[in-house]
A and B are shown apart, each in its own frame.
Chain A
Amino acid sequence: MDVEILSRIQFAFTVAFHYIYPPLSIGIGLIMVVFESIYLRTKKKEYEVLAKFWTKIFAITFGVGVVTGIVMEFEFGTNWATYSRYVGDIFGSALAAEGIFAFALESSALGVLLFGWNRVKPWVHLTATWGVFLGSMFSAVWIVVANSWQQTPAGYHIVGEGMSARAEITDFWAMVFNPSSIDRLTHVWLGAFLAGTFLILSVHAYNILKGRYVVLSKKAFRITLVVAAICSLAQLFTGHQSAEGVSENQPAKLAAMEGHFDASAPADLYLFGWVDKENQKVTGLKITGGLSFMLYQDLEAEVTGLNAFDKDNRPTQINAIFQFYHIMVAIGMFLIALSLFGLWQWKRGKLFEKKWLLWTFVFAAILPQIANQFGWFTAEMGRQPWVVYGLLKTSDALSKSVQANQVLFSLILFFIVYFVLFLLFVYLMNKKIKNGPDSDINFDEGSLNKEIAKVVSK
């Protein structure tokens, strides 16, 4: 294997692994803020317990997220030196902004969030929780801005030629608000909220099923379910916006997502299918003219197909992109259905009576994770063969001085270390979840139920 494929595998592997954690942190962070705010307002002990419990889980996801995230920043230099030189002005600025305006806030506030319960006043602690949550949201802003610039470059000009060509900023705000930034940022934020909320729903559903911390879990479940339902519906909207943006700015990617080959023709929308790249055919269940309708509200509208692009300038992994995209959409639809069904059952007063529904919520935690991963696979594989769309090919972006044996060495190390790290993560998460809310504060369920009963009877 050559340096290019090894470096691509390494980057894909390390970034995909990294992306398990930040969405969880952002999503759990949101609910932590909610629980702690309710606690400060109502002074009800159970919300303090919930806030502390989820802070413990958050500590694990955040910790693994940070250490695997630093890897990404430095891999641009180690494995993609030509890319680094080409986009340093722009991409580097976004990374620096992320460090200064986002990461500093979340990491500093984290110390107070985790260790400050007995050190600072409650409102100061809540401020720290907000700091961590907002910091993680801002991180997403700059990282998505940087990546969106790779998808839809704007606000730059190219200086120099050949090996020494570089993109330089001409208009900073045009670079930040490049055509895909906002659509993708909202999509990423909501994806993160879904990852976090569905994990929280899963844990509390499991507790309810097992008859542990039932009162606590029901409260947490209801609040989180409302957030999850809003987010899953909103995600449909941002997803649609993103798809429209892709059709406008990266038509080759959109064509790959739908397996649309004809250079210019009305396009069908597939609910599922299989792409035969050789014969340029898709087998599956389709809505004739559906894609045309979705993009232009016209069943006959022409959509640019893959054949409109030179073979060297379009993605090659059509079926993979098609499948990743369709699975992501299917999961999104399922999450909407599940959360709305949950709300409906709540209204009927039967939310916690249907065991199969709770079990569905237990296992649904994995779905936003898969959707987030597959969404990014679609975005990044669909951009190929470009690393910066239309400007720089992935194959030209490598570090010229790095050799295959070096990358093989680092790749093997990353495989081993991340495998161990993942096992530890699962083991510790499982343990923390099973242990339930903090026992250090002598808050067993019996006394909690009694206290709640007291509050209720008042």
Chain B
Amino acid sequence: METLLGIDYPTWWFLVVGGLFSGYAILDGFDFGAGAWHMFFRKNTSRETALKAIDPTWHGNEVWLVIGGGTLFAGFPVFYGTLFSAMYIPFILFLLFIIFRGIAIKFRNMEDMLWWRKMWDWSYSISSIMLAFLLGVVLGNILRGMPLDEQYEYIGRGFFEFLNPFSILVGVTSLALFMMHGAIYLILKTEGKLYERLQGFLKKAMAFFILAYIITTVYGFFYLEHLLDVFQENKILFVVPLLVFLSIANVPRLASKRKYGWAFIFTSITIALLLAIVAFELYPRLLLSNPDIQNSITIYNAAASTKTLKIMMGFVAVGGPLVLLYSYFVYRTFWGKVNQDDSSY
């Protein structure tokens, strides 16, 4: 198999797709988190400020989902087809909530009626909560594995099979994680009373996340033994959960010192490290076939041709810096606290 710098192309592509989805989770994650808190703000002005905090940038964040989806489709078509058709209902719901979140942000301030604004506030908040939860549910199912046949086709049946204790726990944990991440983002973007209130929210979010994370880990430890294999085979990997622990512990420490910029960096690192654990759990598998393990989808049996992967590496090499440049420019333009005078539509 052809390699680049000693690493084969499917592995490179595994890293690229993983990196893109981590980027998506970090970026849209704080949008989801901000949205999840939205209904906890009582005053209209608070809600407006909170919305303004994400309004100019959330479109750019959503791009990572589109690129992540495209690279997954092109890089691992077999996995793309199986995962999305197996998780049909959660993905369809995810798409509908993506719609409701997007139009809620767009449409909310286009009318002055109280009921109109309330309707879109609810739409925005519930959608954000559900998006965070559903991403976790899908991730939980990937970690748990699912029954596949020799054609790598999902053979589970039933409408609600995507909901199981583990996937629900991962869903709740990702919601909690994003609520913590989003609260810090809002703190960075606000001033005055709202800023003070958000600090209380952040404390609750940290407690919620740590609790959810511990329960999920313990549940996985007892009921999903295959998740431990990789750590038993490779003891050095225990470093990663340790780093996660340190990174999480850093967040309340920095928050208590009001170093929110750093706290935000550490929630971002926590998200990336948690996804790194998922990557170690999976590699070189993408989807565990449970119980027929030989039908599992791996990066090798799911990958596109090496030629395609090479072309796509070229895309990423050229386009990646461009995307980062655009993001840098937009974030720099809207850096700092929300400016009430920014004209918006």
Contact = CB atoms under 8 A, between A and B. Distances in A.
Contact of B77 (A63, A71, A166, A414): A166
B63 A99 contact: yes
B102 A93 contact: no
Contacts of B339: 119
Q: Can you list the 10 inter-chain pairs with the closest CB atoms, starting with the nearest?
A: A88-B77, A77-B84, A92-B74, A81-B81, A96-B70, A100-B319, A399-B85, A92-B73, A108-B326, A99-B67
Interface stretch (B29-37, B170-178, B328-336): B328-336
Interface residues of B, number: 75
Contacts of A119: 333-334, 339, 342
Contacts of B80: 76-77, 81, 84-85, 88, 92
A115 B344 contact: yes
A410 B60 CA distance: 27
Contact of B341 (A118, A403, A410): A118
A96 B71 contact: yes
A405 B84 CA distance: 16
Interface stretch (A168-176, A249-257, A263-271, A273-281): A168-176
Contact of A100 (B94, B99, B106, B320): B320
B16 to A, nearest CB: 10
A109 interface: yes
Given A108-B326, A170-B307, A413-B96, A100 B56 contact: no
Contact of B91 (A77, A93, A105): A77
A230 interface: no
B130 to A, nearest CB: 13
A118 B89 CA distance: 43
Interface of B: 55-57, 59-60, 62-63, 65-67, 69-78, 80-89, 91-92, 94-96, 98-100, 102-103, 106-107, 110-111, 151, 153-157, 159, 304-305, 307-308, 311-312, 315-316, 319-320, 322-323, 326-327, 329-330, 333-334, 339, 341-345
Given A77-B85, A79-B85, A100-B315, A168 B307 contact: yes
A109 B85 contact: no
Interface string A77-105: 11111111111111111011111110111
Contact of B323 (A100, A163, A169, A401): A100
A86 B81 CA distance: 10
Contacts of A413: 92, 96
Given A63-B103, A100-B323, A85 B85 contact: no
B62 A115 contact: no
A107 B85 contact: no
B92 A92 contact: no
B315 A101 contact: yes
A410 B85 CA distance: 13
A114 interface: yes
B345 A59 contact: yes
Most A Cβ at <10 Å: residue of B66, B106, B312: B66
Contact of A73 (B66, B155, B311, B319): B66
A110 B59 contact: yes
Contacts of B329: 108, 112
Contacts of B69: 70, 73-74, 95, 99
A159 B157 contact: no
A91 B70 CA distance: 9
A453 interface: no
Which bucket holds chain A's interface residue count?
35 or more
A12 interface: no
30 contacts: A64-B103, A70-B66, A73-B73, A74-B95, A85-B81, A88-B77, A88-B78, A88-B81, A89-B304, A91-B73, A93-B308, A99-B66, A99-B70, A103-B66, A104-B322, A108-B59, A112-B329, A115-B55, A115-B344, A118-B343, A163-B151, A166-B77, A168-B305, A400-B85, A410-B89, A410-B92, A414-B96, A417-B100, A431-B111, A432-B110
A147 B333 CA distance: 37
B154 A401 contact: yes
A59 B343 CA distance: 13
A346 B173 CA distance: 65
A168 B303 CA distance: 11
A88 B344 contact: no
Given A70-B65, A96-B70, A421 B103 contact: yes
Interface of B is mostly: helix
Interface in A404-443: 405-406, 409-410, 413-414, 417, 421, 424, 428, 431-432, 440
Contacts of B110: 428, 431-432
Nearest to B70: A96
Given A70-B66, A108-B63, A115 B343 contact: yes
Given A92-B80, A95-B70, A405-B159, A67 B98 contact: yes
Contacts of B103: 63-64, 67, 421, 424
A105 B80 CA distance: 25
Most B Cβ at <10 Å: residue of A87, A96, A114: A96
Given A96-B71, A96-B74, A78 B66 contact: no
Contacts of B304: 88-89, 92-93, 168
A111 B66 contact: no
B77 A84 contact: yes
Given A100-B316, A115-B55, A169-B311, 18 more contacts: A70-B95, A73-B70, A74-B94, A77-B85, A81-B85, A84-B84, A85-B81, A88-B80, A89-B305, A92-B70, A98-B66, A100-B322, A104-B60, A112-B333, A115-B342, A115-B344, A402-B88, A410-B89
A390 interface: no
A440 B343 contact: yes
B91 A74 contact: yes
A116 interface: yes
A309 interface: no
A78 B73 contact: no
B123 to A, nearest CB: 11
A180 interface: no
A172 B306 CA distance: 13
Nearest to A87: B77
B91 A78 contact: yes
A111 B95 CA distance: 22
A56 interface: yes
Contacts of B73: 73, 76-77, 84, 88, 91-92, 95-96
A266 B71 CA distance: 47
Nearest to B327: A108
A114 B66 contact: no
Contacts of B96: 413-414, 417
A87 B308 CA distance: 11
Interface in A48-77: 55-56, 59-60, 63-64, 66-68, 70-71, 73-74, 76-77
